[in-house]
Amino acid sequence: MSVRTASGASKLLYLDSLRGLSALVVAVHHFQVNSPLSSSLLVANAWVFLDFFFVLSGFVIALNYEDGLRTWRGIASFQFGRFLRIYPLHLVMLMVFVGIGLVKLIASHELGLHLGTPAFEGDSLAAFLHNLALTQNLAMDELSFNKPSWTLSAEFWTYVIFAGIIFLCGANRRLRLGLCWAVVAISFVWLAGHDMGASESPVRCLHGFFLGALTCTIARRLPKLGAGLPLTLVFALFLYALAVHDWNRTGLEAMAFPYLFAGLILLFEATREDVALRRALEHPWLVHLGVISLGVYLIHSAVWWVMQNVARLSGISMAYLYDEAQPVHALESPWVVSALLLSGLAITIGLAHLSYARMERPVMRARRRLDPFSAEARGPKAAATAEALGRGEAQPDARIG
């Protein structure tokens, strides 16, 4: 189902759910332990879901904001809104990882305990400043501090490029589409000769985001299919392909996934809203998982670090997280490890819910009061909704994504 929030933004609930489920798979992928959950091929292929995030982001941004990006004031409001959406939690987690570095330093020097990699290894002052400025993905080759945050850096500056193209093209639709296709084509050629790792992530983000924006343009013209069987079959085959094969991160094989995700979104958009798969994905619990997915994505690494080192200090052997200096053997019982993994996910989801309820949503609501150009950044429909809000004819709701 598509709903319109009081901010004027369209929300496709099934996309929220898919984003939340993808964030969970990525979180499990980063908890490398001897569990049937984390050792499955579906989890090993979790890197492909980052391309889904980029395609989805381009689709949603184009759907909700494109019309409002034709003035400087609209661009400023848009970028301000995106900054407020991602930066508060990013800053909190950056400081959490600074705290983790201090804990490592004190534990090593005062207690003789080694909690993984040495304190601040790879987390230099320059890395901190780049993380603070959201430029870590543009200026640094190595991941630092809260490692998953590289995607926020890549996306934030992609927003700037997208907004600039929309502004420069104005009402010239053909020029806008031509430039978007050019970005996709150039980034495709570049990535085909490299890989889909974090080192190429600025280009990878450009490719997926602009492909998603073009997907939105195509989706607006799609007729509705009469049945949901094609969607269900394609969705099942896609999951099966991820679950039975360890896909390459290089070459055309890796490059196919953003296009498969774009095609899947188009198929969802072309399918009636009463189809069973869409209804299942619009279950409130799954939708809420998508709502808090930013928290799941940014918080899980800190949760895994704490769980790992609590286990280490308790004498329990667990596999290492990311590039820990002292990897140890995983627990022999997959059932115990799976229980630890599920408990870690539950803690992560709980913290993500608190982050959204106590910080992210209040910040976004405050943005509406502080930014006089917020309605303009979402186009004429949002302006009408904002006017209705001022008359008390609509109730405020937080925008996700």
Query: What is the DSSP-derived secondary structure letter of residue 81?
Result: H
What is the CA 48 to chain-centroid distance, rounded? Answer: 12
Q: What is the pLDDT of residues 55-105, one digit of tens each?
A: 999 999 999 888 888 888 889 889 998 999 999 999 999 999 999 999 999
pLDDT band at 184 (very low <50, low <70, confident <90, very high): very high
The more confidently predicted of residues 287 and 231 is 287
Per-residue pLDDT, 71: 86
Q: Is residue 114 pLDDT above 80, yes or no?
A: no
Q: From residue 280, how far is each of 17, 52, 111, 230, 283 by CA, in Å?
A: 10, 20, 51, 16, 6
Give the distance between the most distant pair of CA atoms in the chain: 68
Pairwise CA distance, residues 270 & 266, whole Å: 6
Mean pLDDT, residues 123-130: 92
Candidates 207, 196, 206, 175; CA nearest to 251 is: 196
Q: What is the pLDDT of residues 252-305, one digit of tens each?
A: 888 889 999 999 999 888 888 878 888 899 999 999 999 999 999 999 999 988
| Maximum average pLDDT range among 127-131, 217-221, 248-252, 376-380 | 127-131
Q: Where are the domains of the chain?
A: 2-391
Q: What is the token pair recorded at 294?
A: 């930013």
Distance CA 252, CA 276 (A): 33
- Split at pLDDT 50, 70, 90, the class of 227 is low
> Is it the case that residue 116 has pLDDT exceeding 80?
no
What is the mean predicted confidence (pLDDT) over 204-222? 92
Q: Around 157, how many Cα atoms within 13 Å sit in the side-chain half-sphere?
A: 17
Looking at residue 119, the DSSP 8-state letter turns out to be T
Which contacts of 124-128 are long-range, i.e. CB under 8 A and separated by 24 or more positions? 128/94, 128/98
Beta strands in 195-240 (DSSP E): none
**Do residues 266 and 234 make contact, with C-beta atoms less than 8 angstroms apart?**
no
Q: How confident is the model at residue 193 (pLDDT cuts 50, 70, 90)?
A: confident
C-alpha 305/C-alpha 322 separation (Å) is 10
Average pLDDT, the chain: 82
DSSP output for 26-43: HHHHTS--S-TTTSSHHH
Distance separating alpha carbons of residues 37 and 267, to the nearest angstrom: 29
What pLDDT, on a 0 to 100 scale, did the predictor assign at position 320? 41
Confidence check: pLDDT of 311 > 80: no
pLDDT for 214 = 95
Q: Residue 137 pLDDT > 60, yes or no?
A: yes
CA atoms of 160 and 28, how far apart (whole Å): 31
Higher pLDDT, 205 or 119: 205
